[in-house]
Structure 1
Amino acid sequence: MDKKISGLAAVISAAFLFSATAHGSGSHAPIIKQVTDRGLKVVSSFEAIDGMTGYILDSNGSPVTLYVTQDGEHAFVGTLIDKKGLNLSAPRVQELFHDAKNQQAWAELENSHWIQDGDPNAETVVYAFVDPNCPYCHRFRTAALPWINEGKVQIRHIVVGVLASDSIAKASTILGSNRPHGAYIKNFETFRSGGIVPVHAASERGKAQVEANNRLMSNLGVSATPGIYYKDSTGNVKMRLGLPPESELNRILNP
């Protein structure tokens, strides 16, 4: 079992139902210290049913929902459902954990090392973690070309090197090139025949930028390429792993 998952399971098992035997600090219920002492971090809190207070906690990048009883003496970890089986926890997790995390990520993406693709004045902005050896990244740009060519969308490619033994060298060559966009397009156009050939001087210049992009990808928990960030019609930042199907692609590029 994955260490992260097994560790989270252990925490949940230990914290599933417990009493307020420890004293906390700050504005949170004292019982919260029972889980923060186990390494979880409080992300947000909210009013739940029957006078309970709900908490969204971060366990190594994964959300955990905890509910504290009105008297503050007991708490439980898990999903809260109503009599119809409706998941009452999921909307809170989406809003207070995933949406908030993605919104924060947007600023980090803006400050990463990316290649402008499309009209820089295009209203729709999409960030995509891409590897020079990723066939799905190639297919993603191919599918997006009509929007790019019409000036409707700008894609900011955050070039990483994670998939193959020569990915870092290729990615570094692209970012270290005198014309990074031209180098990116060369890799795109020659992808079927192996893509761009690494150039030592350019690779040396671009390596630090690729390594920074790799760290950002890891820190954000993006586990696949393309890793796509975009804003929906309401302005909320969303994240999508892998190549989107056509219907979802239309929503991403035409919010």
Structure 2
Amino acid sequence: MQKITALVRSGVIALSLACASTAAIAQENPLSARSEVLPTALANLTDKGVRLTFLDERGGVRGYLGESRDGKMQVFYLMPDNDYVIVGTLLRADGLNITGLQIADMQDRFAQFRNEVEAKNADISTPQTDTPPSPRVANATPYDQKVSAVPVVVEPSPVAAVGSAEDKDWSKSDAYVSRLAKETFLTDVAKTAFFTVGDAEKQPLLYMVADPNCPFCHRAWAKLQPLISDNKLAVQVILIAGLKGSAPKTRSILAGKEPGRAWWLGQGSKDGVEVPAEPAAGTEDYKRADYYLKLNNDFATKVGLSGTPFFAYVGSDGKLYSAEGPDDLAGFLDRLMN
């Protein structure tokens, strides 16, 4: 368990520094007062002075990080019958180290708590400005090509906040290795009517399929914008219309002279921002925008998209990673950002 101990140390230390009394935390068992409601298998551990921190539940078993009085750490898994505890590492059928992911999630929670405490205790707050970059816009496919329209029906998927994992021997991204063929995906995505926000020539490139009426796309974009502002990321946006009422908004944005800037300023990417009316039906602008929309919808159908937002990228290891509304956006991006 040496690796787990190393992983957790920084999080435990950070949490202790953020609190008023390190000694009080070290002496208090966070679950001791609840021993009467704990399963006997766990209560026996806390009675022996083991401090337990709940990780999460995977595969029907609940994971806990335990620290003994002498500082040794082990991960315990409570079986579904509540009568047995197993000590060790939890692996998924494909070999993914679930225990490592759980430890990293706990680190992220500690780091978030520490940041919140430091923010509350700060004597001053520094005002920040948000100057939008000049988006690079590209419509990759000529208008004179013909495509067939295939309707796409998608449901929005939730995403989590952006953070980071700290151990580079493994990565949270490993859970998102794509089943799509990389070369085929890259060929197909290059033929879409996309716009790029950020400098894709200098920054890591993330592909994003979004629907202007998808609230989870809006939340995800709010997490990505600071990374673009800090010149840490570029995002290639492929707009589709799978939700009710999305098509006019998508055509409006794609018909504009600067769709990337419109998206950056909130059109289709932020709740409450009005999107201008689409071009009049039958006009050249309408036909062009409708062509782009059908092209992107075809791409979404070919990829097998069933929810938005959809993300993909080629990681530092050369593998393709993809996910629809990943539960942990930070973990998903790890192989791209680090």
Normalising by structure 1, we get a TM-score of: 0.56
**CA shift for structure 1 position 212:** 0.7
CA distance in 1, matches of 2:299, 2:307: 13
Aligned residue type for 1:128: M
Quick check: 1:125–1:153 contact (8 Å CA) kept in 2? yes
Q: Which residue of 1 aligns with 2:258?
A: 179
Q: Tell me if 1:119 matches 2:202.
A: no
2:212–2:269 CA contact under 8 A, matched in 1: no
- Mapped contact 2:253–2:267 kept (Cα < 8 A): no
**AA partner of residue 205 (structure 1):** R
SS of 2:242's partner is coil
| CA separation of 1:102 and 1:181: change in aligned 2, threshold 3 A | same
Task: Give how far 1:181 is off.
Answer: 1.5
Residue number in structure 2 paired with 1:251: 334
Residue 215 of structure 2 is aligned to residue 135 of structure 1: yes
> Could you report, residue by residue, the CA deviation over 1:99-155 in whole angstroms, capped at 9, with x for unpaired residues?
452442122112211111112323311111111111111111110122101212110
Structure 2 unaligned residues grouped into runs of 5+: 1-90, 97-173
AA partner of residue 321 (structure 2): K
Matched residue, 2:167: none
Corresponding residue pairs, total: 165
Match of 1:46 in 2: none
- Counterparts of 2:336 and 2:286 in 1: how far apart (Å)? 32
Partner SS state of residue 275, structure 2 = coil
Distance 2:269 2:333 in 1: 26
The equivalent residue for 1:80 is: none
| Residues 141 and 190 of structure 1, relative CA distance in 2, 3 Å threshold | closer
What is the letter of the counterpart of residue 199 of structure 1? E
Work out whether 1:110 is the aligned partner of 2:187.
no
- State the distance in 2 between where 1:190 and 1:99 align: 28
1:215 maps to what in 2? 298
Q: Secondary structure at the match of 1:240?
A: strand
1:205 equivalent among 288, 292, 297: 288
Query: Are 1:240 and 2:323 counterparts?
Result: yes
Bigger Cα Rg: 2
Within a 5 Å distance, the mapping from 1:47-86 to structure 2 comes to none
- Using a 3 Å threshold, how does the CA distance of structure 1 residues 219 and 86 change in structure 2: closer, same or farther? closer
Q: Is the 8 A contact 1:229 1:240 kept in 2?
A: yes
Q: Which shows bigger deviation, 168-177 or 102-111?
A: 102-111
Residue 52 of structure 1 aligns with which residue? none
SS in 1 for 2:181: helix
The equivalent of 2:25 in structure 1 is none
User: What is the distance in 2 between the residues matched to 1:158 and 1:140?
Assistant: 14
For residues 192-237 of structure 1, what are the alpha-carbon distances to aligned partners after superposition, in whole Å with 9 as ceiling and x for unaligned? 2254132224544311101110011011101111111112230111
Kindly indicate whether residue 244 of structure 2 is the aligned counterpart of residue 161 of structure 1.
no
The one-letter amino acid paired with 2:241 is G
Report the equivalent of 2:272: 193
* 2:189 counterpart SS class: helix
Name the SS for the 2:220 alignment partner.
helix
CA deviation profile, 1:58-111 (whole Å, cap 9, x unmatched): xxxxxxxxxxxxxxxxxxxxxxxxxxx995799xxx9xx954524421221122
Counterpart Cα distance in 1 of 2:264 and 2:225: 12
Which residue in the other structure is 1:78 paired with?
none
| 1:169–1:203 Cα contact (<8 Å) kept | no
The alignment-based identity, stated in percent, is 21
Aligned to 1:101: 181
Gaps of 5+ in 1: 1-84
Of structures 1 and 2, the one with the larger relative CO (CA 8 A, separation 6+) is 2
Amino acid at match of 1:119: D
Q: SS at the partner of 1:104?
A: helix
2:313–2:322 CA contact under 8 A, matched in 1: yes
What's 1:225 paired with?
308
TM-score, normalised to structure 2's length? 0.44
